[in-house]
Amino acid sequence: MYFSNEDFINELDSFFAKEDMPGAEKCLLRWKGIAERGGNTGAVITVLNESVGFYRNTGDKEKALSAVNEINEYIRIYKGLNERKYAVILINCATTLSSFGENEKALLYYNKAEKILNNSKDSDFQVIASFCNNKALCLQKLKKYDEAKKLFEKALSIDRDNDGLILEYAVTCVNIACLYEEMEYDFTEIEKMLDAAMSVLKNKRNFSLAKYAFTCRKCAPAYGHFGFFLDELFLNRQADRYYENNRLL
């Protein structure tokens, strides 16, 4: 079977749309096999990059770190990556390493990605905002709060100025609220950020439903953490409605 990037992503997204994680993992393994048998190193890297994020989100440390190591091995022998994709992969690997406590190692990946982004002739605002947000989370774990705050604020500014990043804006607001808690800010400042995020998540816009459901699920625990249980319930119900409808299809 010939590897088709479009078919791979569409099939993978069909499992994510139902929150079918076992099905998504089987999909990743199947398409990786297809890419390997076809000798398509670029396609293998594409599948592994999705695998890195998948195993991070499912909390499987062993498989996530194994995918990080494997993708690095393939990148060493492959010369066909463009700068944007390489930066995205580095950010993805760094975020996964940080998620499992390897924050110092993650910073090495973030710094390498930053060099690529700084030298790039194109301004890819989505990638830059993602970089700022995720590196800030890593710095926060290392208790480098002032550096983290600056990067979160940069991400927030980029998200605010680009209408296509409005859901990313909501996530950044929630991240800043959590940072403010660690920095011992007044609770009113935390509440302002949570309110800003919720104003986006309760607004009726032409969101991608899949992205909206994912964002609601991602933000919900923070509202519960801060005692806004009705908001947490609302976000989880919004996500449940999307995923349950897809399971019936």
In a domain, 74, yes or no: yes
List the helix and strand counts (H, then E) for the chain.
Answer: 12, 0
Do 102 and 175 belong to one domain? no
Do 28 and 69 belong to one domain? yes
In a domain, 127, yes or no: no
In a domain, 222, yes or no: yes
In a domain, 131, yes or no: no
Do 205 and 148 belong to one domain? yes
In a domain, 147, yes or no: yes
In a domain, 63, yes or no: yes
What is the DSSP track for 38-49?
A: TT-HHHHHHHHH
- Give the number of C-alpha atoms closer than 13 A to the C-alpha of residue 249, restricted to the C-beta side: 10
Do 116 and 158 belong to one domain? no
In a domain, 129, yes or no: no
In whole angstroms, give the CA distance from residue 223 to residue 178.
10
Do 101 and 47 belong to one domain? yes
Using an 8 Å Cβ cutoff, are 140 and 172 in contact? Answer: no
Q: How far apart are the first and last CA of the chain?
A: 26
In whole angstroms, give the CA distance from residue 167 to residue 212.
7
Band (107; pLDDT cuts 50, 70, 90): very high
Task: Work out the mean pLDDT of the chain and round it to a whole number.
Answer: 95
Q: Angle at Cα 239 formed by Cα 237 and Cα 245, nearest 5°?
A: 95
Q: Which domain holds residue 184?
A: 137-249
The closest of 193, 198, 159 to 178, measured between CA atoms, is 193
Do 93 and 51 belong to one domain? yes
State percent of the chain over pLDDT 70: 99
In whole angstroms, give the CA distance from residue 212 to residue 218.
10
Band (249; pLDDT cuts 50, 70, 90): low
Do 111 and 147 belong to one domain? no
Do 116 and 207 belong to one domain? no
Do 58 and 166 belong to one domain? no
Residue type, 218: K
As a whole number, mean pLDDT of residues 228-248 equals: 94
Do 158 and 249 belong to one domain? yes
Band (207; pLDDT cuts 50, 70, 90): confident
CATH number, domain containing residue 43: 1.25.40
Q: Position of tokens 């705050």?
A: 149
How many domains is the chain partitioned into structurally? Answer: 2
Q: Which two tokens stand for residue 62?
A: 């062993």
As a whole number, mean pLDDT of residues 199-211 equals: 88
Q: Position of tokens 């249980």?
A: 229
Using an 8 Å Cβ cutoff, are 129 and 153 in contact? Answer: no
In a domain, 128, yes or no: no
Using an 8 Å Cβ cutoff, are 158 and 128 in contact? Answer: yes
Listed residues 82, 99, 122: the one ending a domain: 122
Do 183 and 234 belong to one domain? yes
> Does residue 46 have a pLDDT over 80?
yes
Do 21 and 95 belong to one domain? yes
> What does the pLDDT read at residue 234?
97
